Amino acid sequence: MLLQKLKLVNFRQFYSDATVIEFSTDIDKNITLIHGENGIGKTTILNAILWCLYEKLTHDFERPDELICLQSLKEGNKSCRVELNFEYEGKEYLAQRSLQNSSQSLFKLFEVSNSNYSDVPNPKAFINSILPDDMAEYFFFHGEGISNINAKKSGEKFKRAIRDILGFRLAETAVEDLKEVNRKWTKELANLQNLSKEESQLIGKKKNIEEKITILKVKQVHLSDDKEINQNDLNKVLDDLRNCSNIDAKTLQKEIDILTSRGNRVESIINQLNVDKQGLIKKYGWIIFGQKLAHEGLGFIDEQSLKAKLPAPYDETLVKDLIEDGKCICGRELNPGTDEYSKVISLVEKADNAVIRSKLMKSRSAGTNMKGRFSDFLSGLEKIEKNLTKQDTDKRDISHELVEKQETLDSIAGEVDEVKKLEQSKYNCMSALSVINQKIGSNKTSLGILNSELQTTDLKLKKFGAEDIRISRLTDHQSYAQELIELCGVKLDQYEKDSKLTIAKKVNETLQEFSRKDFKVKVGDDFSFYLVREDGHRVAKSKGENLLLNLSFVSALIEFAQMRSGASGDFLVSGTTAPFVIDAPFGELDNTYKRATAEFLPKRSRQLIFLLSSSHWMGTVDETINKKIGSEYVLVSSKRSIQNGKPDDKLMVDGKEYIQSLYNQEKDATFIEKVR
């Protein structure tokens, strides 16, 4: 999707139909730059595009009900309209949304060919097939939104962003719908007539368990949110401690950080070793019981062979041939009724044949194998145990050292007010986190118990289903839906994990190329993206670094969506190539990071539309993007009020001066002036 032209007709401060912006579609000069001081209408342009395509506005767009231009309302005109021309897969389209008297807006979409306009049926579906509305907010981006990504519960926001760009919405709604359908079937079960007392009790129990599970899951989500908020608060306090004015406290906190991080590493090694140990027992555990059997079995086979109770090493075919020929291998005649004949005949009973031989060999080999595996099991277990002992000792040492450092820090806190306050906050956050973690753990246990109770109840119900076809039908339906819910969950988790890593890799590439410090991005289990130094410690981000991280994240999302534009879309919504419209992106960046952002954003998107105030644009950004600008405009605010010492907001672009605030005018409105 490439934006070609935007026309605003009496939309907010844009009076009449004079506002037309032609966007640059040139691949080399892919930037359209729109200058505008605060409050003149930059955010309105971004919102006009969102409103036209999706009837949506950014969350902080003030007075969203007043879309019709006040000046035009005064003149009796009670309608507004936004028109957007765009190109998609070689065809040109015109999207048009209009609003009359603040009633429901009307959306139309036309395919434009040789100045002929033909209606596109189901315009909403068509627009969503190009750029789904849940992905749109990342392409039509408000600077404020970038800061919001880093707000509390950042992990949740990063996760949501990745899910939206991956097009999870359909699959997520499918899971919710399947759960709802299942609940409906439980109700149907409960309403069945002529059930036995036991059946009714089981169905009632099932319903009850399902309700409890739903409540617990909601609680779990809230607890996770609380955990993230408290973790963020704790990180902030720790950052403050690491940067406090007391050098001893600062050093101690850094040492505590190192020890904590070592402790976490040891803890994760211990966890892994325990998992390995369980795996080993799972794999070879049966051998412990099989060992005695193998030992005795092999002994038995050998002993019985010796005693000739098991097939002797005579081949059945050979013995039969001897009898048929009537002659023994020693040359004696074998006539029926003779002693020789009876002896040879008795050999057939003990003679070896192919089937017995193979069975014996298998038994021998299984027994020998079991013996061998047992020693593998023992040596593997011994290795793990040794390592566990070593890690446990390390853990004890680290924890001992941590207590010592913490006590020293506490003693400083007793003397220095700043440290005392920070330490108090640290303890508060840590104790709140510990309470939350306990609650999460206990909820998890309860959920496990409830799920297993549900399974047992379902199994019992299925037994009744064998006699009552109504129960059987409904429980079968539920199992089927549950299987689909689980499959969907597994698939979504896998996609999410893979994408998280790809996006983190892209963010890292950007940071490595453009950031002045040597740090990397890491993604936590909770999807929070954070910066770490080479030694693995978290970096206390400045506002600028935060913004840089978030901008690289959003641009990585856009690039990722472009990469996925060829995806089939039969499970996840396929990706898309779409313009990146970004309002006020350079807020808290210093010049170096401004330059970096101005360099990487045009590289990451096919079409880039910047909405900038002079403070964002002048100097570094101008120098960096100038050669990439294909189209440029200045917003001019016309005011009826008298200037009375207020600024003209003059702007010099390409040697020409533009006055952005005109006073003593006939109308209050914003107009647009083309620069190039």
Tell me which residue of 52, 66, 13, 46 sits closest to 143, measured CA to CA: 46
For another protein, which residue of 73, 120, 174, 234 counts as binding (CB under 8 A)?
A: 174
Please identify, using beta-carbon distances, which residue of 252 and 492 lies nearer to another protein: 492
498 near another protein, judged by CB under 8 A: no
First to last CA, the chain: 23
Q: Smallest distance from the beta carbon of 182 to another protein, in angstroms?
A: 10
Cα-flanking dihedrals φ and ψ of residue 7, to 5°? -125, 125
For another protein, which residue of 29, 56, 169, 364 counts as binding (CB under 8 A)?
A: 169
111 near another protein, judged by CB under 8 A: no
C-beta of residue 558 within 8 angstroms of C-beta of residue 138: yes
Those residues whose C-beta lies under 8 Å from the C-beta of residue 182, and which sit 6 or more positions away, are 478, 481, 482, 485
567 near another protein, judged by CB under 8 A: no
662 near another protein, judged by CB under 8 A: no
For another protein, which residue of 16, 98, 129, 408 counts as binding (CB under 8 A)?
A: 129
CA dihedral for 611, 615, 621, 627, sign (positive or negative): positive
Neighbours of 96 (CB within 10 A): 19
122 near another protein, judged by CB under 8 A: yes
Q: Smallest distance from the beta carbon of 123 to another protein, in angstroms?
A: 8
Please identify, using beta-carbon distances, which residue of 109 and 531 lies nearer to another protein: 109
Q: Smallest distance from the beta carbon of 484 to another protein, in angstroms?
A: 6
Neighbours of 381 (CB within 10 A): 15
Please identify, using beta-carbon distances, which residue of 36 and 123 lies nearer to another protein: 123
493 near another protein, judged by CB under 8 A: no
Residues 418-477, interacting with another protein (CB under 8 A): 476-477
Q: Smallest distance from the beta carbon of 93 to another protein, in angstroms?
A: 15
Q: Smallest distance from the beta carbon of 489 to another protein, in angstroms?
A: 11
Whole-angstrom distance, CA of residue 355 vs CA of residue 370 = 22
C-beta of residue 217 within 8 angstroms of C-beta of residue 447: yes
160 near another protein, judged by CB under 8 A: no
658 near another protein, judged by CB under 8 A: no
Whole-angstrom distance, CA of residue 663 vs CA of residue 650 = 13
Whole-angstrom distance, CA of residue 661 vs CA of residue 637 = 5
Total residues at interface with another protein (CB under 8 A): 31
Structure-token match 């963010």, residue found = 507
Please identify, using beta-carbon distances, which residue of 419 and 578 lies nearer to another protein: 578
For another protein, which residue of 65, 114, 125, 566 counts as binding (CB under 8 A)?
A: 125
For another protein, which residue of 488, 539, 540, 662 counts as binding (CB under 8 A)?
A: 488
404 near another protein, judged by CB under 8 A: no
Whole-angstrom distance, CA of residue 604 vs CA of residue 556 = 7
Measured CA to CA in angstroms, residue 268 lies from 271, 273, 281, 395, 650 at distances of: 5, 9, 20, 11, 60
C-beta of residue 672 within 8 angstroms of C-beta of residue 658: no
Q: Smallest distance from the beta carbon of 185 to another protein, in angstroms?
A: 8
Residues 466-485, interacting with another protein (CB under 8 A): 476-477, 480-481, 483-484
200 near another protein, judged by CB under 8 A: no
Neighbours of 526 (CB within 10 A): 15
Whole-angstrom distance, CA of residue 190 vs CA of residue 251 = 65
37: left (phi over 0), alpha (psi -120 to 50) or beta: beta
Whole-angstrom distance, CA of residue 433 vs CA of residue 260 = 16
What are the E-state strand segments in 124-275? 140-142
For another protein, which residue of 66, 75, 177, 321 counts as binding (CB under 8 A)?
A: 177
3-state SS, one letter per residue, for 308-330:
CCCCEEEEHHHHHHHHHHCECCC
For another protein, which residue of 1, 31, 53, 178 counts as binding (CB under 8 A)?
A: 178
130 near another protein, judged by CB under 8 A: no
296 near another protein, judged by CB under 8 A: no
Whole-angstrom distance, CA of residue 676 vs CA of residue 666 = 27
Q: Applying CB under 8 A, which part among 127-135, 302-310, 347-355, 555-563 lies near another protein?
A: 127-135
Q: Applying CB under 8 A, which part among 173-181, 425-433, 524-532, 663-671 lies near another protein?
A: 173-181
Please identify, using beta-carbon distances, which residue of 254 and 477 lies nearer to another protein: 477
Residues that bind another protein (CB under 8 A): 122-129, 132, 169-171, 173-174, 177-178, 180-181, 184, 476-477, 480-481, 483-484, 487-488, 491, 570-571, 573
